[in-house]
Amino acid sequence: MKVQKLLRFVICFLLLLPAVLSAEKEPKVLLITSDATVVKYSAIREEFKKAFSRPVLEVNLNEKQWGINAVEEFLYDEKPDLIYCIGSKAYLTANKFIADKPVVFSSVINWQRLPITKKTYGVSNELPSGMQITLFRYIFPKVIRIGIVYSEQYNSQWFDKTKEEARKMGVEIIGQTITKNTQFPLSVKALLPKIDALWLISDPVIISDKKNLTDVFRECNQRKVPVFTYHDIFAEYGATLIVSVDDGTIGRQSAGLSNDVLSGVKMEEKIQYPAGSHIILNLKKVKEFDLPYNEQALGIVNQIIR
């Protein structure tokens, strides 16, 4: 009788063993945010946590307790199986201390400038430049010369690639580099006589001063040069066309990518473009500038300012 009880116990233990082992092997995931007070980062972080199928540990680098030594010690102690990084600072921190683990990133401006390993995955901060240029031309067929002011530190690779893609589409990109934000208004002023539109891109050197942005939009408005840009906030400045990505979508997309990495899914593209876009057209500004536009293109616009 005792032998039968022991046998039943052994059988039950063996049946439960796979579940016990799988529980022990539950991957440890760490979410590092460069600055959780940034609204964009916060929205992405919350959507990631909602969509991700596993619990996560969190480090917010803007909080005082997370000095560089504290972060390094935490990473070595916890030994996460995957790290999701929101922002450049978060990614550089993870890459410095645990580059041997899979790292997924988002909200990194021009990710090509960062150190990338075989275990790096991510969602690009920018929509495909070729897609945006195609969109510009579809809505505004007469726009063939587009000006871009950029810093080499953040966007030199992106600019070179974009210029070449534009050339193949019959569009001329005219660039102006700057090293500090005070150069931005003067650089734009020099470009305006040469271009049909200004493309305001995501670049920390350019967008770090609100007054400079106001001055640039005022100058473009006076010369009736449309501004194409990347974020809804520029609608209040008077941007003519805005092609933006949705922060929540980036969070959910990053969660799906992280799950795929942990599940061992093979993927051709380790760095993905953002899924979907939102298009705002300021038709009031178009008519004010007397810009020729394709009326049929209005069907692809998500929001029209009249």
Contacts of 284 (CB under 8 A, 6+ apart): 305, 306
The greatest distance separating any two alpha carbons of the chain, rounded to the nearest whole angstrom, comes to 98
Distance in Å from the first CA to the final CA of the chain: 86
Three-class secondary structure of residue 203 per DSSP: coil
CA distance linking residue 41 with residue 209, whole number of Å:
20
| pLDDT, tens digit, 9 for 90 and up, residues 22-77 | 445 789 999 999 999 999 999 999 999 999 988 999 999 999 999 889 999 998 89
Same domain, 115 and 169: no
Q: Tell me the residue type at 39.
A: V
With respect to residue 144, please indicate whether it lies within any of the assigned structural domains: yes
With respect to residue 149, please indicate whether it lies within any of the assigned structural domains: yes
| pLDDT, tens digit, 9 for 90 and up, residues 136-181 | 999 999 999 999 999 998 999 899 999 999 999 999 999 999 999 8
Cβ proximity of 240 and 198 under 8 Å: no
Which residues form the domain of 294?
A: 129-244+277-305
| pLDDT, tens digit, 9 for 90 and up, residues 52-65 | 988 999 999 999 99
Same domain, 159 and 73: no
Q: In the chain, how many domains are there?
A: 2
The whole-chain average pLDDT of the chain stands at: 90
Three-class secondary structure of residue 84 per DSSP: strand
CB-CB neighbours of 104 under 10 Å: 29
With respect to residue 64, please indicate whether it lies within any of the assigned structural domains: yes
With respect to residue 3, please indicate whether it lies within any of the assigned structural domains: no
Same domain, 300 and 198: yes
Residue showing tokens 């031309």: 137
Same domain, 281 and 298: yes
Same domain, 267 and 301: no
| pLDDT, tens digit, 9 for 90 and up, residues 201-245 | 999 898 878 899 999 999 999 999 999 999 989 999 999 999 999
Cα angle, residue 274 at apex, residues 256 and 304 outer, rounded to 5°:
130
With respect to residue 104, please indicate whether it lies within any of the assigned structural domains: yes
Same domain, 138 and 225: yes
* pLDDT for res 210: 87
Same domain, 118 and 157: no
Domain CATH code at residue 239 = 3.40.50.2300
Contacts of 126 (CB under 8 A, 6+ apart): 109, 110, 158, 202, 230, 273, 274
Same domain, 69 and 148: no
With respect to residue 2, please indicate whether it lies within any of the assigned structural domains: no
Cβ proximity of 50 and 249 under 8 Å: no
